[in-house]
């Protein structure tokens, strides 16, 4: 696996695929700079070596050239994070871009305009990829969030750098962290899978059953498993067409000696709102008109024992509707148990949009071993898929 440390960037121009798809407010201010900060170590190494950096990214899902999706809005924030005045060019291919890249001096950074202003980017167009490749000497992919897409800037471009391509430090860390969980883990290994749908996690579950000792199931998925086993779930969310699948998963887990832990009690509410009336109820006896919106106290006690005995923990998906304060307690408690286990030497990997949002919201991020930056990409790796952006560097 070629990384930044395999290259000396002195006098070289590095073309770096970063993931600067950051949220902006109505005045185009960056509201969360996590992804920019995450790319800093890669850019710093290149500049410190005496090289220059050409940054390319997408922002949003523009239809053609749309001013509101211009990367010019983030230039000030990128400059602030890097501590370098970042130059910007109002295109990503063409004569102006080539001139700006050619003029770039060691220690300088150039940000290109949004790649997705061109349909050729998402189409994986070879001619477009070659124009990007012509801008530099070494290709660095540091965008885990888009590594599962075979786009021009994430995959196709790599073929123009047969020897001079590598992973940036962020992408290398993502791969290492996932390998630690999937292929190189200390036992016992526990996977916590939450969220609302079994259907979105089914391939993940099937792929990790061979690698884990415990599987904690939480969130809305719980009720599909409970109903499949004959429990009464009231008005709780449920995928009625996945009941057989849930039973099949439980049977496979038993076959492979994986212990499955499902909530035994829930915080039930008489409406899907923060100020609804609530009661703690057995998960198999939720009254009609009520729905389970968070894990109950007995469930949390059971989960705590499992987590604290684990040496490797993967967390993907919340235990309840954590966006509402009254149904966030389960997710917060789980985060605290994982933090405690991590402090005692366990390796914890958090990934998937909602789990990442939760650890950030509740200040738990620094207490986890690694928090993944790519939701879809991480899920695909957990499903056992080879990501095109990663394969392109390894080829």
pLDDT band at 72 (very low <50, low <70, confident <90, very high): very high
pTM of the complete model: 0.86
pLDDT band at 352 (very low <50, low <70, confident <90, very high): confident
> 216-232: per-residue pLDDT in tens?
999 999 999 999 999 99
Q: Which residues contact 211 (CB under 8 A, 6 or more apart)?
A: 181, 182, 183, 185, 189
Within a 13 Å sphere around the CA of 8, how many CA atoms are in the beta-carbon half? 2
231 catalytic per annotation: no
Selecting among 2, 87, 159, 197, the annotated active-site residue is: 197
CA distances from 329 to 93, 316, 323 (A): 49, 17, 11
Check whether 167 has a pLDDT greater than 80. yes
Selecting among 353, 360, 367, 385, the annotated active-site residue is: 353
Rg (CA), the chain: 23
Question: Which residue has better confidence, 181 or 235?
Answer: 235
pLDDT-wise least confident of 6-10, 88-92, 158-162, 376-380 = 376-380
Check whether 196 has a pLDDT greater than 70. yes
384 catalytic per annotation: no
Q: Nearest 5 degrees, angle CA 182-CA 188-CA 189?
A: 35
Question: Which residue has better confidence, 377 or 360?
Answer: 360
CATH topology for 185-382? Rossmann fold (3.40.50)
Check whether 393 has a pLDDT greater than 90. yes
Check whether 306 has a pLDDT greater than 90. yes
pLDDT in the model for residue 329? 97
Domain with CATH 3.40.50.1260 in the chain: 4-170, 185-382
17 catalytic per annotation: no
Check whether 260 has a pLDDT greater than 70. yes
- The CATH class of the 4-170 domain is alpha beta
pLDDT in the model for residue 353? 64
Average model confidence (pLDDT) for the chain?
95
Task: Round to whole Å and give the CA distance between 181 and 347.
Answer: 8
Q: What is the DSSP letter of 153?
A: T
Known binding residues for ATP are: 201, 292, 323, 352-355
Selecting among 12, 17, 35, 227, the annotated active-site residue is: 35
Known binding residues for substrate are: 19-21, 35, 58-61, 116, 149
197 catalytic per annotation: yes
Q: What is the mean pLDDT of residues 190-218?
A: 91
Check whether 373 has a pLDDT greater than 80. no
Q: How many CB atoms lie within 10 A of CB 100?
A: 18
CA 109 to chain CA mean position, Å = 26
Task: Round to whole Å and give the CA distance between 15 and 108.
Answer: 12
Strands (E), the chain: 13-17, 52-56, 87-89, 109-112, 138-141, 165-167, 189-193, 214-217, 232-233, 259-261, 265-269, 278-282, 285-286, 291-295, 312-316, 347-350, 370-371
pLDDT band at 357 (very low <50, low <70, confident <90, very high): confident
Known binding residues for (2R)-3-phosphoglycerate are: 35, 116, 149
Q: Which residues contact 5 (CB under 8 A, 6 or more apart)?
A: none
pLDDT band at 374 (very low <50, low <70, confident <90, very high): confident
Check whether 375 has a pLDDT greater than 80. no
Known binding residues are: 19-21, 35, 58-61, 116, 149, 201, 292, 323, 352-355
Among 162, 195, 139, which residue's Cα sits nearest to residue 3?
139
> 47-61: per-residue pLDDT in tens?
999 999 999 999 999
Among 24, 26, 22, which residue's Cα sits nearest to residue 39?
22
Selecting among 252, 311, 376, 385, the annotated active-site residue is: 376
């Amino acid at each position: 696996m070629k990384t930044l440390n395999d290259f000396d960037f002195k006098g070289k121009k590095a073309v770096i695929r970063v993931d600067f798809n950051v949220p902006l407010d109505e005045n185009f201010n960056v509201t969360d700079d996590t992804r920019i900060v995450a790319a800093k170590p890669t850019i710093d190494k290149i500049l410190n070596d005496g090289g220059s950096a050409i940054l390319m990214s997408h922002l949003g899902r523009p239809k053609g050239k749309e001013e509101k999706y211009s990367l010019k809005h983030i230039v000030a924030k990128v400059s602030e994070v890097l501590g370098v005045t970042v130059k910007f060019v109002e295109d990503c291919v063409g004569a102006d871009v080539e001139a700006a890249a050619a003029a770039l001096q060691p220690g300088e950074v150039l940000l290109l305009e949004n790649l997705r202003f061109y349909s050729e980017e998402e189409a994986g167009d070879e001619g477009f990829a070659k124009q990007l490749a012509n801008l530099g000497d070494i290709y660095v992919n540091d965008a885990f969030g888009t590594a599962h897409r075979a786009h021009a800037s994430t995959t196709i471009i790599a073929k123009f750098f047969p020897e001079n391509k590598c992973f940036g430090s962020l992408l290398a860390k993502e791969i290492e962290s996932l390998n630690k969980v999937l292929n190189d883990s200390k036992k016992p290994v526990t996977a916590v899978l939450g969220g609302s749908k079994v259907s979105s996690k089914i391939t993940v579950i099937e792929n990790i059953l061979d690698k884990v000792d415990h599987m904690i199931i939480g969130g809305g998925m719980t009720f599909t498993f409970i109903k499949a086993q004959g429990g009464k779930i009231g008005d709780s969310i449920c995928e009625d067409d996945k009941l057989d699948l849930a039973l099949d998963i439980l049977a496979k887990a038993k076959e492979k000696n994986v212990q499955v832990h499902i909530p035994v009690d829930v915080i039930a509410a008489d409406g899907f709102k923060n100020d609804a009336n609530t009661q703690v109820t057995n998960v198999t006896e939720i009254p009609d008109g009520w729905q389970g919106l968070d894990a109950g106290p007995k469930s949390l006690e059971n989960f705590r024992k499992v987590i604290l005995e684990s040496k490797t923990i993967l967390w993907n998906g919340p235990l309840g509707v954590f966006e509402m304060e009254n149904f966030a307690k389960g997710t917060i408690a789980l985060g605290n148990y994982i933090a405690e286990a991590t402090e005692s030497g366990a390796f914890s990997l958090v990934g998937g949009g909602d789990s990442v949002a939760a650890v950030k919201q509740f200040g738990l991020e620094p207490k986890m071993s690694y928090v993944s930056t790519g939701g879809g990409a991480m899920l695909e790796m957990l499903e056992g898929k080879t990501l095109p952006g990663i394969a392109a560097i390894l080829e």
